[in-house]
Chain A
Amino acid sequence: MTASIIRRLIQAIMVMVAMTVIVFMAVNVIGDPVHILVSPDADQAERARVVQELGLDRPLWEQYLHFVRGALEGNLGKSYVYNESALKVIVQRLPATLELAVCAMLFAVLIGIPLGLYAGLRPHGIMSRIIMTVSILGFSLPTFWIGMVLIMVFAVELGWLPSGGRGDTAAFLGVRWAFMTRDGLHHLMLPAFNLALFNASLVLRLTRAGVAEILPLDFIKFARAKGLTEGRVIGVHVLKNIMIPVVTVVGLEFGSTVAFSVVTESIFGWPGMGKLIIDSINVLDRPIITAYLMIIVVFFVMINLLVDLIYTALDPRVRLQGQEP
């Protein structure tokens, strides 16, 4: 098992190295690095000083190493707009995005698993067909469109929930969160639901497929032959087997959810990383873009690694590979 973790780690590091190359190329070859690293209103002398300081007259590979060294030290440039370290600006927005994404994942699981179980246990029922049809819509409709409709229905027409913003926040573990206050939770509902729909459809379909696959197996029949209640057969024997693919997907999709929060945050005016990156792209605040990219890459690689570990914990067959004779 240790060997496989080390192998995964090496792969992860290789992906990160590859991504630093791509980001470096994007910033330094396509764009003008001086333009990126010095504010546009700097004078000629300032520019020359920066060119020398950054070693832009040096060979490309040396520049690359310099870039990597900076990245490792957490130095990814200074935001033009906020006039602060780009990394710091992004990290400040991280909690808002995280709570949105986590809440969306929670919704996805809470909606997807029960409906998927229902559709799997009664595959030919009318309700099951309706559920499956709606889940296709959940896949194919653009997130921003659904978000808009949600605002129109629940905020404009019914007036039940606020249309945007994050609401009040309260401190927890030294960070301010919206989910700690009633008002914040109110603001969180619609965007989280919006962001959840795609994954809810995904979880739903996975669960249904899993039920259809597991139900006819002998160990389910044997569980029934032991005289277990139907609740225990479904809730423990079926569900525990389904959780393996579901957790894998939920984990892997967490990264995508953070990425897709770009759309949801823009619609609902949620002040997270996603809204920040859109605003930064619109004003060409390139240090922020670069930093965001690097953070997202690290994030994705970490998620993939974490999913592997959780997967191993859930499936004893994987966990004990290598220990077995």
Chain B
Amino acid sequence: MSASGAVMAPVVKSSAILEVRDLRTHFVGETGSVKAVDGVSFSVKRGRVLGLVGESGSGKSVTGFSIIGLVDPPGRIVGGQVIFDGRDLTRVTREEMRGLRGRRIAMIFQDPMMTLNPVLRIDTQLIEAIRAHADVSQAQARAWARDALGMVGIPSPEERLHAYPHQFSGGMRQRVVIAIALLHKPDFIIADEPTTALDVTIQAQILAEVQKLVAESDTALIWITHDLAVVSRLADDIAVMYAGRIVEAGPVAEVLDRPLHPYTAGLIGSVPSRNRRGERLQQIPGMMPSMLHLPKGCAFRTRCARADAACAADVPLLPVGDREYRCFHPLIEVPVTEMPA
């Protein structure tokens, strides 16, 4: 598509490489509309890692797919902005978006067994990603692909190029996926639970690898996960999502040490390693409500011991210092272990 024919998105000043403003992604189906992402805002700076945390169905993955413009129908971004390097990604043309994907914005998926095309060789899948954005010869692309595999710690990359995905272990496949994501040194990577499907030891290796690569290249990273332990190791900032909204956000150490929102506290309480031996593991009572029938006001109030009549009203995201929370009854003074179950 010619540049003259395309309407350029307005340039917006921002110090962050990515800024999401009031993003709304809804799925309209026969039985009603699901507001999977409903007014989410956050920003990520270069060289920083944001942990986007929540249970399955909280909208954290849909947020990731909305940023890169790959929401499956019937899902659709119905409002808000995704400002990447001054451009609103919700308003760029399809071809512009394609030019950004894989080059400046990359994504790593949850299940490495499903991310690589089973009938194409590894070299094909690397080389096509290289040549989608770089005007290089087949031989140059090949050398590039080999170096990329070497960089993520795959032994004898030259030989492994000829392999098919099923000849790799899960951890090795995720390394290949990471190598593909890093090919063009993107400004920004979305990682959607990339270690959940892996063994714990492999998980640790991959985490260390990613940490090193992000630090070296000054890339911004969103790490979507439900695993607070991973976030505490890896992330600089954390945003906790519940039922399509961010309920609490801030620097990771502060949020995990002194959560403000009862839901965050509940999540922390249910991590086994945070509990002392012999103590009963805490859990959040009830289940996440159906996204089709969310309670009015705070979506968490049906499971929250601190909720009262006030919680039926809409709760704004309240700032305090460099933190934000969405609750009328924050746990400012209450230590984690005494959180009511």
B30-38, B115-123, B299-307: which one contacts chain A?
B115-123
- Shortest Cβ gap from B118 to chain A (Å): 6
Q: Does B72 contact A (CB under 8 A)?
A: yes
Q: How far is A219 from B113 in the complex, measured between Cα atoms in Å?
A: 9
* In the assembled complex, B102 has its CB within 8 A of some CB on chain A: yes
- B99 (CB) vs chain A CBs: closest residue: A227
Least CB distance from B43 to A in Å reads 21
Contact of A316 with B101 in the complex, beta carbons under 8 Å? no
A228 is contacted by which of B68, B111, B118, B128 (Cβ under 8 Å)? B128
Quote the shortest CB–CB distance from B208 to chain A (angstroms).
23
B120 and A240 contact, CB distance less than 8 A: yes
Would you call B119 and A226 a contact (CB within 8 A)? no
- Interface digits, A300-325 against B, CB 8 Å rule (1 contact, 0 not)? 00000000000000111100100010
Q: Is A224 an interface residue (CB 8 A)?
A: yes
Closest-by-CB residue of B relative to A229 is B98
Q: Give the Cβ gap from B60 to chain A, nearest Cβ, in Å.
A: 16
* A216 at interface, CB cutoff 8 A: yes
For B68, give the chain A residue with the smallest CB separation: A225
Contact of B177 with A by CB under 8 A: yes
Known contacts A227-B103, A229-B98: A240-B119 contact under CB 8 Å: yes
> A residues within 8 A CB of B337?
none
Tell me the complex Cα distance, A86–B132, Å.
59
Cβ contacts A217-254/B at 8 Å (1 or 0 each): 11101111111111010001100110010000000000
- Are A316 and B164 in contact (CB-based, < 8 A)? yes
A228 vs B100: C-alpha distance in the bound complex, in angstroms?
10
Tell me the smallest distance from the CB of A296 to a CB of chain B, in Å: 33
- Enumerate chain A residues within 8 angstroms of B102, measured Cβ to Cβ: 225-228
Of the four ranges (under 10, 10 to 19, 20 to 34, 35 or more), the interface on chain A belongs to: 20 to 34
User: What separation, in Å, do the CA atoms of A219 and B116 have in the docked complex?
Assistant: 5
B274 within 8 A of A: no
Residues A316 and B132 in contact in the complex (CB < 8 Å), given A224-B101, A227-B100, A227-B102: no
Please name all residues of chain A whose beta carbon is closer than 8 Å to the beta carbon of B99 when the two chains form the complex.
Answer: 227
Whether the pair B120, A236 counts as a contact (CB closer than 8 A) is yes
Would you call B166 and A229 a contact (CB within 8 A)?
no
Identify the closest chain A residue to B116 (Cβ). Answer: A219
Q: Is the CB of B115 within 8 A of A222?
A: yes
- Verify A222–B116 contact, CB threshold 8 A: yes
Which residue of A has the minimal Cβ distance to B117? Answer: A219
Interface string of B102-141 (1 = CB under 8 A from A): 1100110111001111111100000011001100000000
Most buried by A among B102, B107, B119, B180: B119
Q: CB distance B164 to A225 under 8 Å? A: no
When the two chains form their complex, are residues A218 and B114 in contact, meaning their CB atoms are under 8 A apart? yes
Which of B109, B132, B166 contacts A221, CB < 8 Å?
Answer: B109
Residues in A neighbouring B177, C-beta threshold 8 A: 222
Measured CB to CB, the closest approach of chain B to A101, in angstroms, equals 28
Given contacts A218-B114, A241-B119, A316-B118, contact A228 B109 (CB under 8 A): no
Interface: B205 (CB within 8 A): no
Beta-carbon contact of A226 and B120 below 8 Å: no
Mark out the residues of chain A between 77 and 124 whose CB falls within 8 Å of any chain B CB in the assembled complex. none
User: Could you say which residues of chain B place their CB within 8 Å of the CB of A237?
Assistant: 117, 120
B8 interface residue per 8 A CB criterion: no
Cα separation A49 to B70 with both chains bound (whole Å): 82
Complex-state Cα separation, A228 to B121, whole angstroms: 16
Most chain A CB within 10 A, of B109, B110, B128, B167, is at B128
Query: Which residues on B sit within 8 Å (CB–CB) of A241?
Result: 117-119
Tell whether, in the assembled complex, residue B119 and residue A227 are in contact, meaning their CB atoms are under 8 Å apart: no
Contact yes or no, B115 A218, CB < 8 A: yes
User: Whole-angstrom distance between the alpha carbons of A100 and B197 in the complex?
Assistant: 52
Question: Given A227-B133, A228-B132, A320 and B114 touching (CB < 8 A)?
Answer: no
